[in-house]
Structure 1
């Protein structure tokens, strides 16, 4: 069996330095860390998880919390991209991932209680129910947490620059000559509310009126069906909008389905811009113009921020990741 002493001999470094790398100490240079990890891989070294836990007083396990009624966190392609990059960074740093809930073996427990039972070191939180007292209990605790697309002064947070993305979308439609621009919102969510506020600000800045009935909310989990329903409501307006900015790509897909069902077409009759740049966006007909969120950077940065706190880093962190407009075929100039 390969041990840290074999790695030390191979690299010419001390066993103490090798041990520090596998136990997550920060006082080792990146060059030395890389040399040790590369040598460990070549030799086929597998760290002893039990021994490491005894040494560091950590389980090396990160919990992932989703809102439970909808399951949107795990099904939505945006979150899938974030989770994948989060996993890559976390596992490269020696952490396993575990989904947490309020139900363990049929017995109801709070999120915090679940984390204590499983020995969770920290939690990344996606789409929680803010009204759930068990969620608030988690925020009030000392357990390290990282919140995606949420706002709180209690824990570290990360999100995309929703306001800037919305500005880019509305100004692009305006540059094409559109003045009657409607909005399909993302419901009472952090991202949905930020994108609605960004839409209203952009319209005001451009001197464009927001017509009555031009703002319709989709569902909080940004489903295709709710986008379709919202677009059907917009199509009942006395004066149809010439363009629609949807707060999510799934909402935009639903809007395109509704437009087609009414005998109209995109972009000939109505232009559409989404938000996310999910994988299917470029394969739609027409290909969807959208605001791209950097899911890799969101996930990898979220993992770095949470692990920093788990490993003793002080202070609450907050990060806002840049976005960009991806122009495809779902908009036309008037």
Structure 2
């Protein structure tokens, strides 16, 4: 099997120079051209162990889920984000190491990843306080879907999404607007709730406390239970803004089970734009999170932190724009 040492001997350059050329770092075009020619001529395929020795990297990124539903990557939002992250990381030769979801966001998780020698960590949907702190050997870390006190986070503009949702309802003549929120322990849930309240005030609409219901951690069951509470009110809302598509789909289903029409009797707007949203009846109007961009920007930020450990990263927090996707779940009262 051809090794990096063979490439060095064939090209006439040192192992260190060959390693830099293979990783696109700091070598002249002349050296790079000659080394790549040797790679092609000898049919070299990078060996992970040799590459680790040559670069002092494991070329491994740890993936940690800190979500409460316990379904991890099976959640449609997370699965699309991590797939986008994976595609971008693979372009730079990185593999992913998924930590058991049962480990959660604990000190033991960090120690496990430290033992495995990962170059960086991506934490997805962390709840509560950051427990990966107070360690003597920090690993470059980026959080998806929540900001932290430490540098490195990527999340959607949740508040802007709420403003778009309420505005769309108002443009269609709705004033009795309810909100099924995500659990306030979650950053996105809090931000979407704050955005909802801000939007209602912006349009001079009253905020009825019984119109704000906690749907929990973005699951189907939570959306169903929250909607039953709204349907049980003496004066029902004509429109419901739901903090997650899975909850919104459940809310629409239970509304129809109660003999009401969607959207004629009650309109709905979700948040996420998961693939299923366009296939339900009626197709769900929703706030689209750019999952591809979230994954890509998370990878770029983490790789920048990995490659510049001793430097301050230029951008430590990235807020990804959202957009309104109009479908058929909002009825015009005008």
CA contact (8 A) 1:259 1:266 kept: yes
* Alignment-derived partner of residue 306 in structure 2: 310
SS in 2 for 1:110: helix
Whole-angstrom distance in 2 between the partners of 1:48 and 1:99: 21
* Aligned counterparts, 1:106-117, within 5 A: 110-117=108-115
Structure 2 CA distance, aligned partners of 1:35 and 1:254?
Answer: 60
Aligned partners of 1:178 and 1:19: how far apart in 2? 62
Q: What residue number does 1:180 align with?
A: 176
Q: Distance in 2 between matches of 1:97 and 1:172?
A: 40
1:196 aligns to what? 193
Matched, 1:250 2:249: no
**SS across alignment from 1:201:** helix
Q: Deviations over 1:289-310 (max 9, x none)?
A: 0011111110011011101111
What RMSD, in angstroms, separates the aligned Cα atoms of the two structures? Answer: 3.3
| Closer, same or farther: CA 98–329 of 1 in aligned 2, 3 Å | same
Q: CA deviation at 1:166?
A: 1.1
Which residues of structure 1 form unaligned runs of 5+? none
Structure 2 stretches of 5 or more lacking a match?
none
- Number of the residue aligned with 2:63: 64
Partner residue in 2 for 1:224: 220
Contact 1:146 1:156 in 2 (8 A): yes
> For 1:262, which of 258, 262, 266 is the aligned residue?
258
Whole-angstrom distance in 1 between the partners of 2:146 and 2:203: 29
Aligned pair partner of 2:124 in 126, 145, 149? 126
Query: What TM-score do the two structures reach when normalised by structure 2?
Result: 0.86
Mapped contact 1:101–1:111 kept (Cα < 8 A): no
d(CA) in 1 for partners of 2:202, 2:41:
59
Q: 1:109 to 1:156 in 2, by over 3 A?
A: closer
For 2:251 and 2:67, locate their aligned partners in 1 and report how far apart those are by CA, in whole Å.
26
Of the structure 1 ranges 42-51 and 72-81, higher mean CA displacement relative to structure 2 is found in 42-51
CA distance in 1, matches of 2:129, 2:301: 25
Alignment check: 8 A CA contact 2:290 2:320 kept: yes
How many Å separate the matches in 1 of 2:179 and 2:33? 48
Match of 2:212 in 1: 215
The change in CA–CA distance for 1:226 and 1:33 in structure 2 (over 3 A counts) is farther
2:70–2:101 CA contact under 8 A, matched in 1: no
TM-score for the superposition, normalised by structure 1:
0.86
- Matches of 2:283 and 2:41 in 1, distance apart? 45
Q: Is the 8 A contact 1:102 1:110 kept in 2?
A: no
C-alpha deviation, 1:74, in angstroms? 1.2
* Shift in alpha-carbon separation, 1:109–1:208, aligned structure 2, 3 A: closer
Instruction: Report the Cα distance in structure 1 between the residues aligned to 2:324 and 2:33, rounded to whole angstroms.
Output: 36
How much has 1:71 moved relative to structure 2? 2.3
SS of the aligned residue for 2:324 comes to: strand
Partner of 1:149: 145
2:274 to 254, 261, 278: 278
Distance 1:229 1:34 in 2: 63
Distance (whole Å) between structure 2 residues aligned to residue 28 and residue 129 of structure 1: 46
Per the alignment, residue 80 of structure 1 pairs with 79
**After superposition, what is the alpha-carbon deviation per residue over 1:84-127, rounded to whole angstroms, capped at 9, x for unaligned?**
010011111111100125979xxx97112101211111100012
Task: Count matched residues.
Answer: 325
Q: 1:2 to 1:204 in 2, by over 3 A?
A: same
4+ residue segments displaced more than 4 Å = 1-8, 13-18, 26-29, 32-44, 101-104
Residue 324 (structure 1) aligns with: 323
| Structure 1 residue matching 2:210: 3-state secondary structure | coil
SS of equivalent to 1:203: helix
Secondary structure at the residue paired with 1:213? helix
